[in-house]
Structure 1
Amino acid sequence: MNRQPLVSRRRFASGAALAAASLALPSLRAQSRLEKTKIALAVGGKAAFYYLPLTISEQLGYFKAEGLDVEISDFAGGSRALQAVVGGSADVCSGAFEHTINLQAKNQMFQAFVLQGRAPQIAFGVSTKNMAGYKSIADLKGKKIGVSAPGSSTNMMANLVLSRGGLKASDVSFIGVGTAAGALTALRSGQIDAICNIDPVMTMLEQKGEVKIISDTRTLKGTIDVFGGPMPAACLYAPVAFIQKNPNTCQALANAIVHGLKWLQTAGPGDIIKTVPEGYLLGDRALYLASFNKVRDSIALDGIIPDDGARTALKALASFDPSIKADKIDLAKTYTNVFARRAKDRFKA
């Protein structure tokens, strides 16, 4: 007797839901009409935690969910990835925010449009074998320092640390060692005397007692100690002309990254292990998870680039790089939060 009204109520409810969905769909479709669906994205050291949001968004299918076919090319360091975009073989770079400032100083206009990291996650350590008697920065004069790639953010931080200790970049030799197994080998075999790199590499060396950390930006507190304020790190950035020509595509990219950031807010260590490729663990799950716990609070929450962070980046670069004149840089043109804000609202990040 009561079954028919129940079915009718169910049909009405599902019909109402369908009607609501059909009303919402046109606006969604309008937003997602992408100017470009196939995107070539360059990154330098994808296996590092620095780029974990990119890996999560890729592995969980968030780019595909936005209608994007993203082909990711991995390079030895951020400067190499940047060269791919400048040279035209890639559309977008996943790399350090400060590159947008460096590029503007060379009259090349690039803009960051979604943040992945709110701290650089870079640590500088000296070899406990090659430099057992290390006392101060002055001891690094004439030494070989491993960085992900010359000109990358690891190189920039090393320059900053050296300058504060009274040394110039020309006082040392920088060696590109990548951000994975090659970096571990270079330090362990004695090819380099010190290393400025990212996790999980640095935590692995630190926990085995192979390096003594002398400067650390893997936490928000450490970043403020080194830079004097918040320092935006990994982001997606592209030529301004590309962003202006492909706003819906950039929105889709920002959506995918912020979706990944939202997932990371509640993900446990086990979730990370299941999601990242096995090769990223560098053969040691326990140390990989120890590294994740160390850098967790440096992962961005909502993709938005803080204004004071951009100012910190400019101040830091200008302090050791004479080619960057702070008063000549228009910081407002190095980033936009238009896309990240929309993505944040959509995913409640």
Structure 2
Amino acid sequence: MRTLRQIAAVSGIAFALAAASASAHAEKISIMVGGATKIIYLPAKLTEQLGYFKDEGLDVEILSQPAGVDAENELLAGAVQGVVGFYDHTIDLQSKGKEVQALVIFGQVPGEVEMVSTKAADKFKSMADVKGKTLGVTGLGSSTSFLTQYLAQRAGVSSKEYTLLPVGADASFIAAVKQERIDAGMTTEPTVSQLLKTGDAKVLVDMRTLEGTRAALGGTYPASSFYVQRAWAESHKADAAKLSRAFAKTLNFIATHSAEQITEKMPKDYYAKNKDLYVAALKASMPMFTKDGKMPADGPETVLKVLAAFNPSVKGKHIDLARTYSNEYLSGTATASK
């Protein structure tokens, strides 16, 4: 009996050492987020905070850039293995000959809000009033610029009739409003709630809910997502599946916990001294998240319709939507493409 106990103990130690060794030698995976403190991208940091990457045996580094287009450029340059940004980049990049694939969909709606400066609000009642105005976006070529151009075009205003100004997000966006450098602009929570609290801006177009998104864009619009270069996913299937599982567990956590419970898991610098405001902003945003990370059935077509309406790179091009995303890594059924 003693010998069996000794064997069991030695085996347990060997297993622990092997697991620790495997973890120590796990290849670091860098993921760039297009603004890590934005609530639309909350699953990225929350997954790290909950320990789900480590549970999958992954060594993941979360990095941040102020705009999604900057994160996209880091991915294409090979500086990072993945991006947490908007799904629409996968379509835009395919039109330019780049193969990028979304593996997990975080948001079934953009979570974006077009905010109009309170000082400009009297003469700025809808997107039809953007003529001659300066509109803030996170960056030129970003998803906020895609959506802004589409909303303006849908209201009958061409892109030559207004100015897009890249102002970043969070504090820099708020400063642009306060300094009257922009008349309106597109941003996300918690910036929306901060501007409403101070009274510096009002909501013009709200895409935080399915109802608001369908009214603005004509359908479900999958937005925040985790995407990688297709070649990387196919050559790192195990890692791609582990990352997908980790994010899916986080989305389930969001679906089964309160905004207060989720906020407790986040780093304190994400909400600074405005914890109550952050909780309120998160409550307003939670309906946007998918529960399982899978692509909504009508999503890709809506996004393609929006981009094809104004984006010269996409307009008139054949886009193979099936190659812009995959649900297979979530279910562990991914196979090499033919």
Give the TM-score normalised by the residue count of structure 2: 0.87
Quick one: distance in 1 between partners of 2:58 and 2:297? 29
Quick one: distance in 1 between partners of 2:299 and 2:201? 29
Quick one: distance in 2 between partners of 1:308 and 1:116? 15
User: What is aligned with 2:267?
Assistant: 277
Aligned residue type for 2:209: T
User: What is aligned with 1:243?
Assistant: 233
Quick one: distance in 2 between partners of 1:272 and 1:317? 33
- Report if aligned partners of 1:130, 1:190 keep a CA contact under 8 Å in 2: no
Aligned residue type for 1:74: S
Task: Select the residue among 62, 65, 76 that pairs with 1:72.
Answer: 62
- Report if aligned partners of 2:26, 2:57 keep a CA contact under 8 Å in 1: no
Q: How does 1:1-349 map to 2 (within 5 A)?
A: 37-325=27-315, 328-342=318-332
- Report if aligned partners of 2:309, 2:315 keep a CA contact under 8 Å in 1: no
Question: Shift of the alpha carbon at 1:181?
Answer: 1.6
- Report if aligned partners of 1:230, 1:308 keep a CA contact under 8 Å in 2: yes
Quick one: distance in 2 between partners of 1:57 and 1:50? 14
Q: Deviations over 1:282-311 (max 9, x none)?
A: 532222122111111111100101231111
- Report if aligned partners of 2:137, 2:186 keep a CA contact under 8 Å in 1: yes
**Structure 1 unaligned regions, length at least 5:** 1-17, 344-349
Q: Deviations over 1:22-54 (max 9, x none)?
A: 9xx9xxx9xx99x96311111111101111111
Aligned residue type for 1:162: A
Name the Cα RMSD after superposition.
Answer: 2.4
Question: Shift of the alpha carbon at 1:241?
Answer: 0.6
- Report if aligned partners of 2:194, 2:277 keep a CA contact under 8 Å in 1: yes
Q: Deviations over 1:122-162 (max 9, x none)?
A: 01021111443223434322322111222111111111111
Question: Shift of the alpha carbon at 1:341?
Answer: 2.8
Distance 1:136 1:180, change over 3 A: closer
Number of residue equivalences: 317
Q: How high is the sequence identity, in percent, across the aligned residues?
A: 35
Q: Determine helix, strand or coil for the equivalent of 2:239.
A: helix
Question: Shift of the alpha carbon at 1:188?
Answer: 1.7
Quick one: distance in 2 between partners of 1:306 and 1:135? 32
